[in-house]
Amino acid sequence: MNDNELKSYNFSLPRELIAQKPTDKRSSSRLLVVNHNSDNFALGNKFKETTFARVTHFLKEDDLLVFNDSKVIPARIECFKETGAKIEVFILDTKATRHHESRVYFRAMVKPKKKLQQKLKLFLGKSDHYLIVEDLIEVGSKFCVISSSLPIDYLIKEFGKLPLPPYIDRGPNKLDEERYQTIYAKTNGSLAAPTAGLHFDRETFAGLERKNIDIAFLTLHIGLATFAPITEEDISNHNMHSEYFSINEEVISKIVKAKRNNRRIIAVGTTSLRALESLKFEQNDSKKFQINEFHDDNKFAKTDIFIRPGYEFKIVDGLITNFHLPKSTLFILLSAFLGRKKCLETYQYAIKKRFRFFSYGDAMLAFKPR
């Protein structure tokens, strides 16, 4: 096996380890710490098991944690065909792609995709309003273009439900409305939660403050493409989806100061990591770290990097993340961070120790090998 073969990132995951609900308290989830140089570790011990409430014990006073403050929107719309059959529409665009004859057009994912066809009417509950499937993006695909006589914001507000991930085999409830959202979520736009941040509660942030650990926020809206499987057996042929992010001058200044002073930057979640690693930077003649990409106050950029083994990390030194799907871009990203063999070893340990996987699962704090 080699680093470019998709099968090199496979492992057997017992279905019962896929978390179906959150823990009673956010920070009571388990935490697996990897590659930490600390007296907390017994000599020769590769991993440290603890609870997320103790995450600050493995952080330094001068660390900088970078969070994604994107907020999940209720983009899951329950509809009915004329036959009465239920069908779900996941809105992929929060802004219309075009307007025509008092209707707005947007991209959506529909399930089940069986018998999906153009001009199919999808009725919104007991309302007189309906959506129309205008175009199938690909034959046999679940992605399509839909039109509505109602604005997208109104659709989401009046008919939208929380879009729980496809591996949670139940509908959303009241608890999900609170727990499938970080406590610092600020900017509407994500179709999935930045799940590493779900473990942070007010007590955790208080602990960061007491230890004088610095924090910063950027915004990257997560689309459903984050769940898209890799179809190429040679992963170097995989085309990564693109996502837009924004980051302000104050945060860029914090990043630059941290790098110049050799302080660790820890990404809270893979979305924060991808955004940070997408920043264009250089070291000038005096070896001073600087970022050259942005020149105004509203700093928007696109990230489409596929981070895989061989990638050289420029900014991020540590990562807080959940446990991911086998053969997924997120597991491959972690394999680039830790090394593929170390990553597989870590996951086998997590499975053996019955850590919970995916969005409502447990967390890992990993540091780059030194």
Predicted model pTM: 0.90
Let me know: does 276 contact 259? Beta carbons within 8 Å: no
User: How far apart (Å, rounded) are the C-alpha atoms in residues 57 and 49?
Assistant: 12
The CATH homologous superfamily to which domain 6-72+176-367 belongs is QueA-like (3.40.1780.10)
What are the residue boundaries of the structural domains of the chain, listed by start? Answer: 6-72+176-367, 76-161
Contacts for 287-292: CB closer than 8 Å, 24+ residues apart? 288/260, 289/256, 289/259, 289/260, 290/256, 291/252, 291/255, 291/256
Fold of the CATH domain 76-161: Thrombin, subunit H (2.40.10)
Q: Per residue of the chain (370 residues), what is the pLDDT tens digit?
A: 689 999 999 999 999 999 999 999 999 999 999 987 654 444 346 799 999 999 999 999 999 999 999 999 999 999 999 888 999 999 988 777 888 888 999 999 888 878 788 999 999 988 889 999 998 877 667 889 999 999 999 999 999 999 998 889 888 999 999 999 999 999 999 999 999 999 999 999 999 999 999 999 999 999 877 767 899 999 999 988 888 899 998 999 999 999 999 999 999 999 999 999 998 776 554 445 555 555 455 567 788 899 999 999 999 999 999 999 999 999 999 999 999 999 999 999 999 999 999 999 999 999 998 7
> Quick one: tokens of 225?
């493409």
Query: CA gyration radius for the chain?
Result: 22
User: In this structure, what are the phi and psi dihedrals at residue 332, rounded to the nearest 5 degrees?
Assistant: -65, -40
